[in-house]
A and B are shown apart, each in its own frame.
Chain A
């Protein structure tokens, strides 16, 4: 069956970097793109970015401009999000999701806490 399994909880200091991974199975990885969405405590869903597994194209939110890298690895069927120069307002649950535009399958979420 289709699965997206994300890496575990992260606690980081302001200014540090974090890498969240999303290992996939059950479908043809290179035929899809992947979205990243986050939800800060007490807030709604926020679109973070999107990466194509077939050509590496990316798009991202202005809120993470200059601090984000999204990559895919077809050999391990894994999608990764790296966020640099972390700020307290980056504290959120980060979700990976399969698809372009309106994703249909989602990972379980990864809590990233940024605190001094």
Chain B
């Protein structure tokens, strides 16, 4: 099974800051990866698919890149609604797996 390793596990930032989260796959997964935003009490929200494509309705301050084994999610100019936990999820094969999550909270 493919393992997804995210870093950091948490970070603190201020409104207006830029943050980058990393996700590494244990083998080549091409660009078969998405990113989810998850807030307590709510369902996860798909923000990125195909490694770098912004899901409809997601603000352009969120961007992502990567292929193969290394992927990044960047949020520029953090807004209050961006504070959440972010997860990568591969869809290369079964079983699928999430990264451990990165909690982004307010400094």
Contact = CB atoms under 8 A, between A and B. Distances in A.
B100 A44 contact: yes
Given A59-B95, A60-B95, A45 B36 contact: yes
A29 interface: no
B32 A101 contact: yes
Interface string B20-35: 0000000000001010
Interface of B is mostly: loop
A44 B98 contact: yes
A73 to B, nearest CB: 22
Q: How large is the interface on A (under 10, 10 to 19, 20 to 34, 35 or more residues)?
A: 20 to 34
Interface string A48-71: 001000000001111000000000
Interface stretch (A11-19, A74-82, A83-91, A104-112): A104-112
A35 B97 CA distance: 12
A12 B67 CA distance: 43
Contact of B34 (A37, A44, A102): A102
Given A102-B34, A102-B46, A103-B46, A44 B95 contact: no
A34 interface: no
Given A37-B44, A102-B89, A62 B98 contact: no
Given A102-B34, A106-B44, A46 B98 contact: yes
B48 to A, nearest CB: 9
A45 B44 contact: yes
Nearest to B97: A47
Interface string B49-82: 1000001000000000000000000000000000
Contact of B94 (A50, A102, A109): A50
24 contacts: A35-B96, A37-B98, A44-B87, A44-B98, A44-B99, A44-B100, A45-B36, A45-B38, A45-B44, A45-B89, A45-B101, A47-B89, A50-B94, A50-B96, A59-B94, A60-B95, A62-B1, A100-B91, A101-B34, A101-B96, A102-B49, A102-B91, A106-B43, A109-B43
Interface of B: 1, 32, 34, 36, 38, 43-44, 46, 49, 55, 85, 87, 89, 91, 94-101
